[in-house]
Amino acid sequence: MSLSTLPYFLGCPSWSENAWREYLYPADAKSGDFLGLYSQVFNAVEGNTTFYARPAPATLERWAQIMPAHFRFTAKFPGDISHGGDLRGQLTAAQTFIELLKPLGARVAPYWLQLPASFGPARLGELVTFLDELDVPIAVEVRNDAFFARGDEERLLNRLLLDRGIERICLDPRALFSCTSREPGVLHAQSKKPRVPPRPAAFSQHPQVRFIGHPELQANESFLLPWLDKVAAWIEEGRSPYVFLHTADNRLAAALAQRFHRGLMERLPGLAALPELDRTPEAEQLGLL
């Protein structure tokens, strides 16, 4: 199967997980190989790193050489833009960031605007200006309680996004918060992720889903089943959703993404399996072992 023909975009929060040598990457894979290997299995990745730091131009050029043309990198606007005060005052910085990522071309679609919990209904005017001034695909993640209350304020947010064909990113952390483990990785993830109810939305051709999973793969089943049905329905409608799978420390995020795809194959007859990497050590491939 060619990933370029997959009817949806599937990925994880990153590609640079050393633990994936245990089951996804070859055991002797070097960190510099990870992106190339990852993009042979998945066709999208969350661009979380750009929230914390802007990549160097040389890094972007290298990514552009490695990422296939069909690959999608959902780059987050840096935190100093999304969390730095009035969004109308951040337009120049946002344009500069967009210009920086130009080497990746159409792979950056959509850009993600992750807003803080302090960004409430009174600031929607800022959001409207920000979205209307930037001529790139954008998806928005909100975390303010008012936008999950099923009241007029949530309806207003949804309407302004729908009118512009801009997706509301759906974060589903229920599986993570169902975990009672006291492991540091779980506690850290629970402290960082907002405990918000899922809000599945399809305001364009590309619904956006972030599923934050339980660290034990099997424990995710009851939470994943509705998403398998929802994503299958979107695909049957002719949409191309984006689905990103996390686990608490992301050690099993790729395995959870593979599991999701296998479940989707059961619902969509004819959907091909994901490619599998040759995990034979490089020395053995070269006949040195």
Are the beta carbons of 161 and 140 closer than 8 angstroms?
yes
- Residue 286 neighbours by CB under 8 Å, 6+ apart: none
Per-residue pLDDT tens over the stretch 94-133: 999 999 999 999 999 999 999 999 999 999 999 999 999 9
pLDDT value at 1 more than 70: no
- DSSP state letters, 226-270: HHHHHHHHHHHTT---EEEEE-SSSTTHHHHHHHHHHHHHHHSTT
State the pLDDT confidence band at 167, using cuts at 50, 70 and 90.
very high
| Distance, CA of 12 to CA of 43 (rounded, Å) | 10
Within the chain, residue ranges assigned H as helices are: 34-41, 49-52, 57-66, 79-82, 91-100, 124-133, 152-164, 174-177, 184-192, 221-236, 253-267, 282-285
Task: Copy the structure tokens of residue 178.
Answer: 């169902």
Per-residue pLDDT tens over the stretch 71-91: 999 999 999 999 999 999 999
State the pLDDT confidence band at 183, using cuts at 50, 70 and 90.
confident
- What is the model's pLDDT at position 185? 82
Ordered domains of the chain (ranges, CATH): 23-28+169-289 (no CATH), 43-168 (3.20.20.410)
| Distance, CA of 167 to CA of 209 (rounded, Å) | 10
Q: Considering the entire predicted model, what is its pTM?
A: 0.94
- What is the model's pLDDT at position 247? 93
| DSSP symbol at 289 | -
